[in-house]
Every structure is written in structure tokens, then in C-alpha cells.
């Protein structure tokens, strides 16, 4: 549904009039889709959880690439500048953004730099949050929640570029200075961080799905999985979701998997380019599937025996699946990503052989010597550890609860 943007004359006081008085009541979320789908994946889940919150929040999500958004949320019309999708107001963020008044809370996802004209409309009454990337490194706890003063250059003292009617060069026109505090919010894996995105009913939906095996087979049929592949899965072949970056050593992984387990069906989503040999091992069946919306992606994670996932959003959803996973972390210069991987593995309960496999999976060359893929008791230990981490992480506050708690505590101290 298309919606009109709020005009510049619309006041924040008007927006919250008639509400219960509890702050905050409304959110802006800004998202740039840099590459792949991790940024929009996180932002859409955050927007959805806030929009469905019992607090009745109004949520506006600004996205610069609606086509990518449509891949995750099929109801999105990429041709519309404004629309409402699943209770979220969706705005196409262009070089000429619409003149909207800032909401109570402005969330800047991953340092994406909201428009200057928008920031100049903010006041001390607005909370400004920079949602950071997920990390398990030790320094995150010390930085979570810290504030940083941001000096915003306001509009000229007169809108026509004059002072007392005398024309002046634009660069010479005095400008007011507005100082706003931007607070840094770090998702994480410990109580000293902002936690992980988790809808209140997520684990209950997972349990309900797993309690009805017919849902799994129906989903696979809907995705075009062949009857032969489904028959193999019914005969206890491993179901493996392979969602990795192109440089992942997929061929080496399949060799180890083939040697350790009898049969396996590899689900390879559309658009994922993996280094798979043209003639994989005979007991490995490769099955292409379409790119799926987020809710179907969750169901695939719940029902797969092994999830090979990439990026941030998929990692978090893989953890909530409670299944063994191989995280293909986003590669960075000077192998900085391997330090982040080590920090994450250090917090995990995964057994040593699973951790060794994870490290090889993230080396550009796959490593000179691959460990064997866990089987027998080692495979069971990996499965058990995934369940343990699910329980541990779910015992901590979720990201939205932590965010609201931080915002309300700060408002109470203001």
C-alpha cells in the first residue's frame, strides 16, 4: 500500500499525541544495502519486531535498494517511493529524500550516514542510535552504549542566503551548530552487549515446525526439490544448506562430508556461487533451490542437519536453529575476519574438531590439511553443543528488549 510522506510541518508532538505517554513511540531506521543481503536482512527483522511490539510503535524503514528488499519481502513494490508493508512504512532512500520529520528514535544501521537535511531537523528530544555490526571480540562490551557528540551544521541563519538582506557567498553565510549525541549499540553474545535479534515467539514457532515433519517435506516440494532427493532425505541422508560466499572451499568440504557420512543432499540457493566440482561424490546430491523469503529461510535452517551460512543475519538465525553450522564470515583485508572468527569460536561451546573445520572453511585456500568431518560421537557432540548454545543465548535479553531498556533508562535520567 502506498503512503504519503509526513510533511516538514508535521511535529513530533503531534505524532505522539494521544499516546500513553511512554517514550519512545516511533522509530526511523536507515539502511544502505552495501552488498549481498545482510544489511537489509538485519534491518527488516528489526523493523518487523518493533512494528509488532505491544508498545504499538510506528516504524519507518529507509532503504536505498528496494529491489534487494523485495527479494526478502516479496510484497515490496520496488517502483513505489512510499508504501506500508507488514505494518512497516517503507521509504525509498534516494539522493533527494522526502521531507519527513524525525521520529522519536533514529537508528542508523552500520554507520550508513542518514541525510544531512534529515539530521538538521533533529533535536535533543530525538535519540540517535548507531547499530553496529555483530562481533564477539572482547572490546565490544566496553564500547556498547557509549555516546559520541556529533556536531551537525544547521541551515543558514536566513533561508535566502542573505544577512539583513545583503547577499553573501554561500560558504560565508553563518550557520548554527547543533550538537547531538549518537549512541553506539553493539549486538553480541554476552550480557554486557545488546544481545541478538529474536522475536518473542521464534523458539515456539521452531518447536511447532519440528513437531510436524510433514511441513518439512511440503516446503521442499514447494521449493522444487526432486522426489529422488526427498526420498534420500527420508532415508536419513543429511540435509545440508549451503549458503556461502563464492570463495568458500565447498569442494573440499563435500569430500570430507562424503567420507564421513553416507548420503547427503546439498541445498544450494539461487544466486549462490559455490566452488562445487562438476562431478561431486556419488553419495552427494546437489539440489538448486530458489532464493527464499526470510520466514522460509528460517524453516530451512530448522530442518537442515548442517547449515553452512554467511554474513550476520544468517549467522544469528542459524544459531536460533540449534543445529550444527559452519559460518562463512565476510572476508576482510589482512585477514582481520579470522581474528573475529577466533573470538566467536572462543565463546562457543563447539567441540575442537568442529572449530578446526570452521577455521579451514574460512581460509582462502581451504587450508593445507583439512580435518576429517565429524562423524559418530563427534557429530553427536557437535549437535549437542549447538543445542547448548541455543539455550544459553536464549536465556539473555534479545536485542529489541535491550535497546528499549537502554533508551528508557537514558530518558529517565535526562
**Residues marked as catalytic:** 39, 312
The number of beta carbons lying within 10 Å of the beta carbon of residue 364 is 10
Query: In this structure, are residues 48 and 88 in contact, taking their beta carbons and an 8 Å threshold?
Result: yes
Query: Residue 3: which of 84, 79, 92 has the closest Cα?
Result: 84
Q: Is 81 helix (H, G, I), strand (E, B) or coil?
A: coil
Q: Is 392 exposed, middle or buried (0-12, 13-18, 19+ CB in 10 A)?
A: middle
Looking only at Cα atoms, what is the longest distance across the chain?
84
DSSP assignment, residue 149?
E
CA distance 120 to 155: 7
| Rg (the chain; Cα; Å) | 24
Query: Cβ of 382: how many Cβ atoms within 10 Å?
Result: 23
Closest to 390 (Cα-Cα) out of 238, 213, 196, 210: 196
| Interatomic CA distance for residues 387 and 49, integer angstroms | 24
Q: Which residues contact 78 (CB under 8 A, 6 or more apart)?
A: 66, 67, 69, 70
Residues 43 and 66: their CA atoms lie apart, in Å, by 13
Contacts of 79 (CB under 8 A, 6+ apart): none
Task: DSSP for 106-144, please give it.
Answer: EEEETS----HHHHTT--TTSEEEEEPPP---THHHHHT
Kindly report the number of other CB atoms within 10 A of residue 1's CB atom: 11
Q: Report the alpha-carbon distance of residue 378 to residue 368 in Å, rounded.
A: 22
**Cβ atoms 126, 107 nearer than 8 A:** no
Q: Are strands 26-31 and 105-109 parallel, antiparallel or unpaired?
A: parallel
Amino acid at each position: 500500500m502506498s503512503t504519503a510522506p509526513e510533511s516538514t510541518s508535521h511535529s513530533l508532538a503531534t505524532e505522539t499525541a494521544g499516546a500513553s505517554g511512554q517514550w519512545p513511540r516511533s522509530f526511523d531506521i536507515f539502511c544502505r544495502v552495501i552488498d549481498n543481503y545482510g544489511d537489509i536482512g538485519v534491518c527488516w527483522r528489526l523493523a518487523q519486531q518493533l512494528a509488532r511490539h505491544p508498545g504499538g510503535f510506528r516504524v519507518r524503514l529507509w532503504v536505498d535498494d528496494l529491489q534487494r528488499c523485495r527479494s526478502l519481502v516479496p510484497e515490496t513494490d520496488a517502483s513505489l517511493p512510499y508504501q506500508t508493508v507488514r505494518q512497516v512504512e517503507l521509504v525509498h532512500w534516494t539522493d533527494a529524500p522526502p521531507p519527513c520529520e524525525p521520529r522519536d528514535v533514529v537508528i542508523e544501521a552500520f554507520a550508513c550516514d542518514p541525510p544531512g537535511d534529515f539530521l538538521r531537523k533533529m533535536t535533543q528530544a530525538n535519540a540517535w542510535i548507531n547499530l553496529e555490526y555483530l562481533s564477539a571480540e572482547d572490546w565490544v562490551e566496553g564500547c556498547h552504549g557509549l555516546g559520541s557528540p556529533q556536531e551537525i551544521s544547521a541551515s543558514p541563519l536566513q533561508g535566502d542566503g542573505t544577512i539583513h538582506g545583503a547577499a553573501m557567498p554561500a560558504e560565508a553565510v553563518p550557520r548554527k551548530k547543533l550538537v547531538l549525541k549518537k549512541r553506539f549499540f553493539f549486538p553480541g553474545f554476552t550480557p554486557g552487549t545488546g544481545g541478538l535479534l529474536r522475536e518473542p515467539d521464534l523458539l515456539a514457532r521452531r518447536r511447532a515446525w519440528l513437531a510436524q515433519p510433514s511441513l518439512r517435506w511440503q516446503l521442499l516440494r514447494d521449493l522444487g526439490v526432486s522426489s529422488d532427493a526427498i526420498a534420500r532425505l527420508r532415508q536419513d541422508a543429511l540435509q545440508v544448506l549451503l549458503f556461502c560466499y563464492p570463495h568458500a572451499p565447498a569442494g573440499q568440504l563435500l569430500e570430507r562430508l562424503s567420507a564421513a557420512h553416507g548420503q547427503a543432499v546439498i541445498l544450494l540457493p539461487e544466486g549462490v556461487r559455490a566452488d562445487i566440482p562438476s562431478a561431486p561424490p556419488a553419495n552427494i546430491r546437489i539440489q538448486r533451490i530458489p532464493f527464499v523469503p526470510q520466514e522460509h529461510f528460517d524453516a530451512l535452517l530448522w530442518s537442515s542437519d548442517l547449515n553452512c551460512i554467511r554474513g550476520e543475519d544468517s549467522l544469528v538465525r542459524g544459531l536460533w536453529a540449534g543445529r550444527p553450522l559452519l559460518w562463512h564470515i565476510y572476508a576482510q583485508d589482512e585477514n582481520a575476519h579470522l581474528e573475529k572468527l577466533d573470538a566467536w569460536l572462543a565463546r562457543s561451546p563447539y567441540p575442537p574438531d568442529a572449530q578446526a573445520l570452521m577455521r579451514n572453511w574460512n581460509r582462502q585456500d581451504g587450508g593445507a590439511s583439512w580435518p576429517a568431518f565429524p562423524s559418530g560421537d563427534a557429530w553427536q557432540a557437535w549437535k549437542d553443543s549447538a543445542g547448548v548454545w541455543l539455550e544459553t543465548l536464549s536465556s539473555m535479553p534479545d536485542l529489541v528488549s535491550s535497546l528499549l531498556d537502554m533508551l528508557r533508562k537514558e530518558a529517565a535520567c535526562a
